[in-house]
Amino acid sequence: MIRSKYLIIGNSTAGVAAIEAIRDVDRKDAIAVVSDEEIFNYSKPLISYYLGGKIDGERIAFRDRNFYEQNQVNLLLGKKAEGIDTEAQRVFLSDGMSVGFERLLIATGGRPIIPPIEGLSKVREGAFTFTRFSDARNLISYIQENNVETAVVLGAGLIGLKATEGLVERGIKVTVVELADRVLANTFDREASAILERALGNWGCKVIKEDTVSKVVSSRGKVKWVVLRSGRDIPTPLLIIAIGVRPNLELIEDTPINYDRGIIVDEYMRTNLEDVYAAGDVAQGKDFLTQGNSVIAVWPVAFRQGKIAGWNMAGRRVAYEGLFAMNSVELAGIPTISFGMTNPPEGDDFEILTRKDENANFYRKIVLKDNRIVGAIFLGKIERAGIFSGLIKDRLDVSSFKEELLSDDFGLLVLPAGYRKHMVTGEGIEV
């Protein structure tokens, strides 16, 4: 057994942010990081660009190879954490080794949701998920070895559409199958989804809505075609299942650590056990807009939670202020950004401002409540969108400049002078 004052399970955004935060406070005590992946680190939003051949494996990292050495981290790659003894403060690894700790951070992220599909258990080749670098690497190998020309992507959320983008870049004809009545149903409203769906069509993709894959037919373990719930057959050698992820709670299910949808944490990212913390896609933390606890599986939230966890693990008391859902991604050649509540419930006194130019693939939507912005969607022109994230965070009353919010000229100079001064002297925002 090895011992480390700080043990981090997971080497993605939250884990790396925690390393940096710990070293802000404690430059000497030992840090160990356990990851079941072999790669040093990588930016998950970039795996679609790797699939599409836009970047190589060297450019996918968000911290260089010297990061762990410089921060004196004992990096244990390719080893899965399989159990925790919370009383003895030990984590058991897949190779039979164990690691003792004084402070533990669980940052195991999410795992793909695999729906019950008839015949899927018989498939050995041709069915993939798309949440890890290894998924993209294995997918590329399969495509090249089998001269794949067509694919079916199950799920038209962010994961499914980013996988679609990578496949299209490789010249593959993609059929996207979505159970909801529109693409990106959890992120966009109907108007934004319609613009994006039309762009996907122009890209050569076919989108089938309000349907799903009910059966996979294989031959000698290889995918041959899929059958939709509607009864339609689609011949294809490749199926990507991308209907979403859920927090990876496997490690803590038989422990005293409390969980609901994710691992429940307080404002210091601490679990119900004093020396055990959680952050990232596995954590159920404060939601800035609802003030309740929820799982918000996006990169900026994971990074901030990892920072907060690391500081507190090392003894610097910093409270997590909560964040909200935010996504910035280019899809079908259209840059998009969304923040907060993009599909508010009807009848709760929300005010909606919109502006649209379908021919230009332009759409802008602002959601307000009590003259404060709680959500926004930008398609096409996304310049200065970062200002809106700050306005949500600062809960600024926008009634004095509400009519300017949809204007192309909206920017810092429209904001009240006192608030502009706060932006310069305070933390500021990325514009």
Q: Report the pLDDT value the prediction gives residue 428, as an integer from 0 to 100.
A: 42
Cα 207 from Cα 276, distance rounded (Å)? 44
Which residues in 69-212 belong to E strands, given as ranges? 73-77, 81-85, 90-93, 98-106, 110-112, 127-128, 150-154, 173-178, 206-209
425 alpha-carbon distance from chain centroid: 31
pLDDT at 27 over 60: yes
Cα 152 from Cα 387, distance rounded (Å)? 38
Question: Which of 24-28, 79-83, 414-418 is predicted with the least confidence, judged by mean pLDDT?
Answer: 414-418
Whether residue 172 lies inside any domain: the answer is yes
Rounded to 10°, the helix 158-169/190-202 angle is 20
- Going from the C-alpha of 51 to that of each of 132, 137, 248, 328, 345, the distances in angstroms are 11, 7, 24, 19, 37
Whether residue 398 lies inside any domain: the answer is yes
- Biggest alpha carbon distance in the chain? 69
- The verdict on 195 and 216 lying in the same domain is yes
Whether residue 325 lies inside any domain: the answer is no
Q: What's the pLDDT tens digit per position in 192-208?
A: 999 999 999 999 999 99
Whether residue 55 lies inside any domain: the answer is no
154 alpha-carbon distance from chain centroid: 18
Q: What's the pLDDT tens digit per position in 172-184?
A: 999 999 999 999 9
Q: What's the pLDDT tens digit per position in 131-169?
A: 999 999 999 999 999 999 999 999 999 999 999 999 999
pLDDT at 305 over 60: yes
The secondary structure of residue 125, as a DSSP letter, is: B
Please work out, in degrees rounded to the nearest 5, the angle formed at the alpha carbon of residue 197 by the alpha carbons of 196 and 199. Answer: 65
Whether residue 57 lies inside any domain: the answer is no
Please work out, in degrees rounded to the nearest 5, the angle formed at the alpha carbon of residue 106 by the alpha carbons of 19 and 276. Answer: 95
pLDDT-derived band at 422, boundaries 50, 70, 90: low
Whether residue 198 lies inside any domain: the answer is yes
**Mean pLDDT calculated for residue range 352-356:** 96
Cα 276 from Cα 257, distance rounded (Å)? 8
- The verdict on 340 and 402 lying in the same domain is yes
Cα 281 from Cα 44, distance rounded (Å)? 12
- The verdict on 291 and 205 lying in the same domain is no
pLDDT-derived band at 423, boundaries 50, 70, 90: low
Q: Which domain holds residue 267?
A: 2-40+62-111+246-313
Q: Is the pTM of this model over 0.85?
A: yes
- The verdict on 157 and 9 lying in the same domain is no
- The verdict on 235 and 125 lying in the same domain is yes
Please identify which residue in the block is written with the tokens 């009383």.
Answer: 87
pLDDT-derived band at 424, boundaries 50, 70, 90: low
- Mean pLDDT over the full length of the chain: 94
Cα 257 from Cα 249, distance rounded (Å)? 10
Total number of domains constituting the chain: 3
Rounded to 10°, the helix 299-313/13-25 angle is 30
Boundary-marking domain end, from 206, 221, 243: 243
Please identify which residue in the block is written with the tokens 């959320």.
Answer: 157
- The verdict on 349 and 410 lying in the same domain is yes
- The verdict on 376 and 340 lying in the same domain is yes
CATH, residue 147: 3.50.50.60
Q: What are phi and psi of 204, to 5 degrees?
A: 100, 10
Whether residue 258 lies inside any domain: the answer is yes
